[in-house]
Amino acid sequence: MSFSISGKTAIVTGAANGIGLAIARHFLDKGANVMFADMDEDRLADEVGEEARAEGPVRMFAGDLRQRLTIANLLSATVDAFDRIDILVNASRQCALSDALDPEKDAVEELLEQNLLTSLRLSQMTAKRMIQKAEKTGAEGIIGTIVNLSSLAATRVQPELLGYSISSAAVEQMTRSLAVVLAPKRIRVNAVSFGSVMSASLQGALRDNPDWRETVEAGTPLARIASADEVAEAVHFLASDASAFMTGQVVTLDGGRGLMDAVGVPAF
């Protein structure tokens, strides 16, 4: 099977910085048409503004994807630009600390809305567009792929990450559920769960706590922190025909950290 995504059209959320930006850039380098989507319009403009203004494989969309109308506008803008949607990468994620015993500060509702519900609604509405397009064109085989991002926090217990852990676990169950629902429609749904990766969240944590780098590396069997580009490679695999018989799977990219009892290592 081919790893090629050349000529495919992808929407990547959270594409203004960090892992989302790395995925969007990677897809672009591999020949895909890419819609860079993010809430931060200024950051998007800084990253891809000039490219998006040209007639080519880059477009940008700024908006709050927690709103269904904004999602509809994103999908319409993508179809208007590229005529189709083949790949959705739900890379927009938020991490926040929780006070686990304070209902006002546990961050559960906030992170479920941002990390779970936004990805779920976007996946549902994108899948409908994919199905409609396939019905019109008579496309055969797999008609679309959806890739979600999760975290080791889905399975590792850290009380200060209560909301983040719950939302990450929910994303993984959403992945499995949508995979079963969408398989008969010829849409695959998988996820990448990562840890010990230089995400925007980990960058912020290391700025505030420089000593954590040594802790993270010591708690990771491969003894290093991965680059965001390495997540992009895993997402590329799941988006391509190289993984054509995979659906409902959560691929772990953590340098082996999930195999260890790494107490005190931040789970992102």
Helix (H) or strand (E) segment spanning residue 228? helix 228-239
- 157 pLDDT band (50/70/90 cuts)? confident
DSSP tag of 243:
G
Give me the chain's average pLDDT, please: 93
- 104 pLDDT band (50/70/90 cuts)? confident
Residue 209 pLDDT: 84
The span from the CA of 257 to the CA of 236, in Å, is 22
pLDDT digits (tens, 9 = 90+) for 195-244: 989 888 788 878 888 888 888 898 899 999 999 999 999 999 999 999 99
Q: Which of 116, 120, 194 is nearest to 150 (CA)?
A: 194
The span from the CA of 107 to the CA of 89, in Å, is 24
Q: Please list, in sequence order, all residues whose beta carbon lies within 8 angstroms of the beta carbon of residue 35, skipping any fewer than 6 positions away.
A: 9, 10, 11, 12, 59, 60, 61, 74, 77, 78, 81, 82
Instruction: Enumerate domains of the chain plus CATH numbers.
Output: 9-259 (3.40.50.720)
Q: What would the DSSP string read from start to end of 90-106?
A: E---------TT-TTTS
- 182 pLDDT band (50/70/90 cuts)? very high
pTM: 0.94
Residues 265/215, Cβ–Cβ less than 8 Å: yes
The span from the CA of 91 to the CA of 103, in Å, is 27
CB atoms within 10 A of CB 262: 22
Phi, psi at 147, each rounded to 5°: -125, 125
pLDDT digits (tens, 9 = 90+) for 10-25: 999 999 999 999 999 9
Residue 223 pLDDT: 94
Residue 28: pLDDT over 60: yes
